[in-house]
Amino acid sequence: MNDFHIGWYMHPLVHRDYPPVMRKNVGSRLPSFTAEELKRVRGSFDFVGFNHYGAAYVKADLSKLDQKLRDYMGDAAVKYDTVLFGLKMGFMSSTAWSMRKMLEHLQVKYKNPVVMIHENGAASIADPSGGNAPDDEFRSQYLQDYIEATLQSSRNGSNVQGYFVWSFLDVFEYLFGYRMGYGLYSVDFSSKERTRYQKHSAKWFAGFLHGGELRPVALPGKAYSQ
């Protein structure tokens, strides 16, 4: 699956062609590069940027290759099995391990490019009063997991050079509107002043950036799964 999602972009940039599995499954529908295009494409990037929030388990579904009309997922010949996402639902499902695997994949297969994690964060469901409650210890835990995974990958040789939290404020989310928030600060959208509230995650993150510990003492009664 990585050779479809990541390989679609990275393989031509590094290896001058699409991955063999794409050539095999897509066939003549996959464009070919001219010699001049290959020369221009290879290495034509400064860094690779990723948004990372969760992980998806997939199963092979080779029957999709028998379909005459296929989309991207049909060509990949897989079907989704389980999707894990950073959402508060009584517990926190952290998938920082999947980001480590992605960074390792880039390191081993694509000559260890410079990587920036452009977006990473956890969603919370808006409370009835508008905005998202400031009691979001789960988000602090989630960010700790991912920052730790980024640090471990760097120490293992990955060329990851940047990490950005999504987002500073709860904003209008393009899939969920105002029903979910990712911000370190909550915004009361029912207030004319759009009052902002500092969440637990904002306090933790600010402390961490000012030299605080990555793993403070765990909060009692809080359970998180990884």
User: Which pLDDT score, from 0 to 100, does residue 61 have?
Assistant: 93
185: Cα within 13 Å, side-chain hemisphere: 10
143 neighbors 121 (Cβ within 8 angstroms): yes
Confidence of residue 191 (pLDDT cuts 50, 70, 90): confident
Catalytic site includes residue 119: yes
Q: Which residues pair with 174 in a beta bridge?
A: none
Q: How far apart are alpha carbons 77 and 63 in whole angstroms? A: 7
Instruction: Indicate the domain borders of the chain.
Output: 1-45, 47-52+90-209
Count the Cβ atoms, other than its own, within 10 Å of residue 207.
Answer: 13
User: Which pLDDT score, from 0 to 100, does residue 188 have?
Assistant: 85
User: Which pLDDT score, from 0 to 100, does residue 132 have?
Assistant: 61
User: Which pLDDT score, from 0 to 100, does residue 57 have?
Assistant: 85
pLDDT at 186 over 70: yes
pLDDT at 120 over 90: yes
Please, which residues have CB within 8 angstroms of residue 87's CB and are 6 or more apart in sequence? 93, 122, 123, 124, 125, 180
> Which residue do the tokens 């964060």 mark?
121
Per residue in 8-67, pLDDT tens? 889 999 998 899 999 999 999 988 889 999 889 999 999 999 999 888 888 999 999 999
Q: Per the residue annotation, which of 119, 137, 148, 173 is the catalytic one?
A: 119
User: Which pLDDT score, from 0 to 100, does residue 136 have?
Assistant: 86
Report residue 19 as tokens. Answer: 């991955």
Report residue 61 as tokens. Answer: 């579904």
Q: In CATH, what is the architecture of 47-52+90-209?
A: Alpha-Beta Barrel (3.20)
Q: What percentage of the chain has pLDDT greater than the value 70? A: 85
Q: How far apart are alpha carbons 185 and 167 in whole angstroms? A: 8
